[in-house]
Amino acid sequence: MNNHPNKSVEYIDLGVIDYQKAWDYQTELFDAVVQIKIENRRNEATILTRNYLLFCEHPHVYTLGKSGSEDNLLVDDDKLKEIEATYYKINRGGDITYHGPGQVVAYPILDLDNFFTDIHKYLRLLEEAVILTLKEYNIEAGRITGLTGVWLDHVDQKNPRKICALGVKSSRWVTMHGLAFNINTDLDYFKNIVPCGIDDKAVTSLAAELGQPQDIEKVKMELKKKNAELFEMDLTI
């Protein structure tokens, strides 16, 4: 653990941004933090590492994690062009997912040495931030054993619905990638994949559950607040 942990986290809203551009930016921040940690160890130094919380939306895109199967993309290149979607194989965990307009995507670039060195706890707190945000909308959400993400009807499971997907990468306790929270998302785009490789459960959004479009900026504000509280972040804008 860091002798002098830095819990200051810089919040950056990237707005609507191309997936590749956001991935490159994440990678740039991630690599810089990792490099400081390497130099600290090499030189027995204690230069503070920085932390970031990036929020954004993406144009229509499908991303496949390292452990995923290409068979879970159900459309060909021609169909992707027709629906104006792109497709990337990426370096996070998990299977295939969809990002698009109306979805809040959060990318925490955190040095967990500044917080706690436990990836399981990290994932559970990301889920908890979404669960607590949904509680503000009087929606009960939770987890399903053996599956990542946040689910509705997670107890009885008569019609379990996933509202938030998770997929992360970490190296030297530095994180990247993160979560995708469906707010006003066009759920039809999920019909072109087997979401997260799970073919027997549905996908939903906050708008679908409440019956009308929601203020995405308000959701971001709540999600940002819940993350700051759970991780005990000193959040700066």
The angle that helices 119-135 and 216-231 make with each other, rounded to 10 degrees, is 140
**164 among known catalytic residues:** no
DSSP string for 24-58: HHHHHHHHHHHHHHHHHHHHT--PPPPEEEEEEE-
Looking at CATH, the fold of the domain delimited by 8-236 is given as BirA Bifunctional Protein; domain 2 (3.30.930)
Q: Is the dihedral of CA 172, 174, 177, 180 positive or negative?
A: positive
Retrieve residue 46's tokens.
């204690």
Q: Which residue of the set 53, 176, 196, 203 is catalytic?
A: 196
This prediction's pTM: 0.95
pLDDT tens per residue across span 154-166: 999 999 999 999 9
pLDDT (average), residues 186-207? 90
pLDDT tens per residue across span 95-104: 999 999 999 9
